[in-house]
Each structure stands twice: as C-alpha cells, then as structure tokens.
Amino acid sequence: MALTLVLAGCGGEDEPVDPNAPVTISLAGWSLSSTPEFKTLADGFKATHPKVTVELKEYDVVNYDTQMTADLAAGTAPDVYVLKNLKNFNTYQSGGQLLDVSDTGHTIGALPALAPYQVDGKTYAVPYRQDSWVLYYNRDLFAKAKVAPPTGNWTWDDYAVAAKQLTDGLKAAGSTATGVYQHTWQSTVQGFALAQTPGADLLSGDYAYLKPYYQRSLDLQAAGAQPTFGTANTNKLTYQAQFGKQQSAMMLMGTWYMATLLNQRASGDAETFDWGIAPAPQHDRSTAGTSATPVTFGDPTGMGINPKINKGKVAAAQAFLAYVASEDAGKALARIGITPARTTTPITETVFALDGVPDDALSKFAYGTHEIRPENPVSKHTNGVQNVLADLHSAVMSDSKGLDAAITEAQNRAKKEVLTQ
C-alpha cells in the first residue's frame, strides 16, 4: 500500500513503472559486520514490500562522507544514502545531491527530528535514528576499584575525581584498565561544551567556552586516567574494544553503542560483564540528578535519496524512507538496541527487554530523560567551522599547541575563512 501511494506522487512519470515488477535499490552503510541496523531495516522493509530488495553497499566508517561525496560526483553512489550527522547536510542539500522527498515527509507525521532536514518548506531527508550521548560504565570494574558507581547527579568535577580514583584503585588491584576512555573524536569534548555551556554558539566565532572542557581532558590524560590522544591514534584504539574488552571503566559515547556492544558480546568480540548507563556529567548542579533533565547532545541520523537514481526506482526508495521513519522500523531497531528517531513507550520497553541490556532505573532514566541539543546546527558555515575546530582538537589533545593559543587561532580562522564567506 505504501509503495502504491508513493507511486502516485513520485517524480518518475516519464518512465511508467509496473508496481508488480521486482525492483532493487541500493543503500549505503558502514561496518556491516558489527553494525546491524542497515540489514535490520532492509529485512524489515522486505517483509512488507516483498517485491523490493534493498542491497547494502559498505563504506569506511571513518571516511564515509569523503567517499560518499566522491561517489556522488562520479555518479556511482547508491540510490539511498545515510546522513551520519547534520554537519554535511547543508553541503549535500545545497549541492543538489539530495532528492526532494517532501511527499514522504508529509506521510510520516509528527517527528521532531525531521525539522533539520527541511529547507524552504521542502524535505530532503528523513531521520531514522536519534542518538544521545550517555556515560557507559562497568560495574565490575567499579567494584574491583572500590569506587562508588554513578548516581545520575554527577557534574564534570565528579566525573574527573571518579576517573582518577578508578585508575588508582584498578592499579592497586592489579589491573591495567584506566578509569575512562575518551575517544579521539572532537565530539567527545566539543559536543558537550557546546550543548551544556550557557550562551555557547558554534557560529559565533567565540570558542572560549571550550576551555574548561579541554582543561579537564588534558588533566585526565596527564594523570594517566585515560589513554593519551597520541596513544589512541598511534595504536588505533577503538572505543568498542576499550569498553567491550574491559580496558576502561567508563566511556562517554552515543546510545548507538548499545547495539554494537550487544552484538559483540554475542560474537565474542566483547567480554561479558555487568554494565549500565548514566546521564552524561553536567555543567553544573542545575541539570544534574534524576529529578532534573540532563543536557546532552546528539544529531539525528537520516537517509536521503541520490538525485541520480533511476526514475523507475524513486517510488521504492521513497517507500523505504517512509518505512525507516515508521514505528514498525523503530520497534525493529529497538530490538537490536538502536535508538530510533520515533520513540514511543513500546519502543523504549523493547530496548530494555533485550537480553544483556541493563534494566535498572538509572539506565532507563539516562536513555529516556534528557534534553538533546545539536552538535551541528544546520548552516552553510557549520562544516567549515567544524573543520577548523577539528584542527584545534588535534593540536590541543596532542599537546602540539597550547590551549589558549589554539582557541585564539581557531577564532581567527573561523572568522576569516568561514563566517565571513
């Protein structure tokens, strides 16, 4: 039915389509062996649209946008592709690399995460995930280090104290694990600073708000409470192995990691241990605690259609987009631990009924109660500013440039190279 409805409004009238003919559409994905969401969505859609096959095309998770941009330019990109975050949405949309899917947008109903993908009243992608960043922690390592686990009311100072206590306690117990693992992405510092600092604005050209967050990270790095940025890069550390192999007692990461951890435990790529999630540490006490609403960050993850798609496949591609934003798709994603863009009580209950997912009150609170602020506000300047801030992140975390000097340089570059263009 959905396919038939979309056929009536698609842009492929110049190539009449037999709705009973089999059709195959291609979909971009990454880390297919450890990221089950793409196959889950493809299989779920196939169950309700048996004549449509969704073939997966794998991209490198680190260089996804670079490779996708190249394939779109070369005309070799898949029919449907994922927008990993909002950072590059404006680039894709303004560059004419996304098909207008307003017909689909109208059919999926109220969905807050849809708004960032709308420009001048038209829809260019639909969200299927809405992750938020939380604190993962290993209860077994906390017990081994004789440190009290998170209670949901931590500020960043509490987090830093616990990280050092864990490192010392684990060392005393004969373990080489660190208190925390901070992955190499700029998000791990800058995402929280932007979301939680009053008045912070990515597009203002003023990045002084980053300073206390970097000071804390550098201090934990110098204290040995987390692997250094250089060690993580040189040794190609992965956040999945650091937490999944019990090399770190705490880790800040998006809710998508729940699905990966469950999958890796089943495959043996992660160890079995008692774990939980807690709200991310807060800027101050006003948003800390289970009686408050913690502030965190996270961009929706969406899907759009390659405008060079064969016109005879547009209807099937739009029907697939309608499916990925549906409650049925949300339930399918929840069954593998993914946080869908459409959240309902049944979907949340599905997540916490999974074998291996912690069902304590704090974990449920962290998953379901928060204010999510965007890491990448949609703007033509966002990509350029984030590239400047990526250079700041590398320079500061590698100790190749002082924090104050790096912030000053980033501010000057942003204003000169990006914001005035």
Lowest mean pLDDT among 27-31, 220-224, 291-295, 376-380: 376-380
Q: Are residues 143 and 279 in the same domain?
A: yes
Q: Is residue 259 part of a domain?
A: yes
Q: Are residues 208 and 284 in the same domain?
A: yes
Q: Is residue 389 part of a domain?
A: no
Last residue of a domain, one of 343, 369, 402: 343
At 331, list the tokens. 């339930």
Q: Are residues 215 and 316 in the same domain?
A: no
pLDDT band at 228 (very low <50, low <70, confident <90, very high): very high
Q: What pLDDT does 8 receive?
A: 37
Last residue of a domain, one of 264, 297, 330: 297
Q: Are 279 and 365 in contact (CB under 8 A)?
A: yes
Tokens 């991209």 sit on residue: 59
Q: Are residues 287 and 145 in the same domain?
A: yes
| Single-letter residue type at 413 | R
pLDDT, tens digit, for every residue of 118-170?
Answer: 999 999 999 999 999 999 999 999 999 999 999 999 999 999 999 999 999 99
How far apart CA 232 and CA 7 sit, in angstroms, is 49
At 305, list the tokens. 């259609």
Return the exposure string of 168-203: e unless at least 16 CB atoms fall within 10 Å of the residue's CB, then b.
bbbeeeebebbbbbbbbebbbbbbbbbbbbeebebe
Q: Are 169 and 146 in contact (CB under 8 A)?
A: yes
Q: What pLDDT does 3 receive?
A: 43
How far apart CA 222 and CA 164 sit, in angstroms, is 11
The number of domains in the chain is: 2
Q: Are residues 290 and 310 in the same domain?
A: no
Last residue of a domain, one of 343, 368, 399: 343
At 155, list the tokens. 């500020």
Q: Are residues 10 and 122 in the same domain?
A: yes
How far apart CA 202 and CA 209 sit, in angstroms, is 10
Task: Name the percent of the chain in helix, strand, coil, to the closest 5.
Answer: 45, 15, 40
Q: What pLDDT does 19 receive?
A: 55
Mean pLDDT of 89-118: 91
Q: What is the DSSP letter of 201?
A: -
Tokens 């110049």 sit on residue: 14
Tokens 């965007």 sit on residue: 374
Q: Is residue 417 part of a domain?
A: no
Which one, of 295, 328, 262, lies nearest residue 134 by Cα?
A: 295
The yes-or-no verdict on residue 345 having pLDDT over 90 is no
Q: Is residue 385 part of a domain?
A: no
Alpha carbon of 84 to those of 28, 32, 179, 375, 386: distances in Å? 11, 15, 29, 12, 15
Q: Are residues 281 and 326 in the same domain?
A: no
How far apart CA 11 and CA 29 sit, in angstroms, is 25
Q: Are residues 159 and 288 in the same domain?
A: yes
Q: Is residue 381 part of a domain?
A: no
Q: Are residues 281 and 309 in the same domain?
A: no
Q: Are residues 189 and 170 in the same domain?
A: yes
Q: Are residues 78 and 210 in the same domain?
A: no
Q: Are 27 and 313 in contact (CB under 8 A)?
A: no
Q: Is residue 31 part of a domain?
A: yes
Q: Are residues 155 and 264 in the same domain?
A: yes
CATH number of the domain at 182, please: 3.40.190.10
Average pLDDT, the chain: 92
pLDDT, tens digit, for every residue of 268-327?
Answer: 999 999 999 999 999 999 999 999 999 999 999 999 999 999 999 999 999 999 999 999
Q: What pLDDT does 343 receive?
A: 76
Residue 209 belongs to what domain range?
133-297
The yes-or-no verdict on residue 338 having pLDDT over 90 is no
pLDDT, tens digit, for every residue of 233-264?
Answer: 999 999 999 999 999 999 999 998 998 899 89
Q: What pLDDT does 6 receive?
A: 41
Which helix (H) or strand (E) covers residue 257, if one does?
Answer: helix 257-267
How far apart CA 77 and CA 29 sit, in angstroms, is 12
Q: Are 249 and 180 in contact (CB under 8 A)?
A: yes
171 torsion bin: left (phi>0), alpha (psi -120 to 50), beta (else): alpha
Q: Is residue 173 part of a domain?
A: yes
End-to-end CA distance of the chain: 47
